[in-house]
A and B are shown apart, each in its own frame.
Chain A
Amino acid sequence: MPFKKKKKIETPPVSTASLPDIVFMLLFFFMVTTTMREVTLLVKLKKPQATEIQKLERKDLTTYIYIGAPTNAALGNEPRIQLADQLASVADVQQWVILQREEVNEAERPKFTVSIKSDIDAKMGLISDIKQELRKAQALKLSYSANPASSAEEMFKAYR
């Protein structure tokens, strides 16, 4: 026989001693990157698409105003404002924004930004009212929250 019979080599069992290390590494990664969902949405929210968007770097300097039709059908279809965990009216916006800004470190208050997360079907009347309230509250940095569109063409498609 030209071929020698192979000697059987016993494969040593794979050591699992480093498994906890790997798992811990992943664990720390997720612990650091995780952000808990802060509010439960009470309104239906479908954000518009845009291409010229910028990241809002500092979450602690940003406060969110949600606008959309209430998820609770008993409250009707008309878009409503959600501040923190409850539905509110336009009249509440000014004071709420001022209170939110009070929580920001004084040196960083000029960077305080309000992010409007509005549903695409909301009307500009409501949003303009909010804008006026923000102007009264001297919260002049504003962000219209939007999802990134890969190209302008793709964005236009949504309007046909």
Chain B
Amino acid sequence: MASKKRPVPEINAGSMADIAFLLLIFFLVTTTMDVDKGLLVKLPPWTEESSEEQDIKEKNIFVVLVNSQDQLLIEEEYAALEDVRRLAKEFIDNNGDGSCEDCRGLRDPNSSDNPKKAVISIQNDRGTSYKIFVAVRNELLGAYSELRNDIAQRKFGRDYDELSEGDIELINEVYPQFISEAEPVKIGG
């Protein structure tokens, strides 16, 4: 039986824009584009014994003390936050035994032997504020990244961040990063 073909009416697409707008506004409002950023650090693995004794010469350790009043003591001398980066750089780059060819340190015999042996130890009180801790941590990381940038510029003429992975490893070999965050103790106050 031949039925009459009815013409299909065209769907009105005029309201499509309205629907899309509605969705658009919803996503506009709910969207948050913040990327989490922070100072990346690595913790030492847990050991049952209280910290094991390591054979590190006194001069190869750069001690940064932060007390509960947020005051700094670096290598047994008062220091300001602004000095941390410079002092840390001098210490890492010191090259006391001359085995580091790329270093430009002062070669002070009473400071670190070479960057491979240099260890930075940050010690804080339980009452130290998080704010100053992050700032000091930031300055210490900054000291390493400045040294690495310097050598990257000298050797490859580029910033550390722009180097290939192989080159980065080469530089990390010259300036390995040893920053230890000791467990907090009571340091005055």
Contact = CB atoms under 8 A, between A and B. Distances in A.
B166 to A, nearest CB: 20
A3 interface: no
Contacts of A23: 17, 20-21, 24
B142 interface: yes
Contact of B27 (A31, A62, A143): A31
Contacts, number: 167
B45 A135 contact: yes
Contacts of A109: none
A72 B11 CA distance: 53
A26 B44 CA distance: 46
Contacts of A124: 124-130, 133, 184
Interface string B1-36: 000000000000100110011011001101111011
Nearest to B80: A156
Interface in B88-102: none
A53 B39 contact: yes
Interface of B: 13, 16-17, 20-21, 23-24, 27-28, 30-33, 35-46, 81-82, 85, 124-135, 137-139, 141-142, 145, 181, 183-184
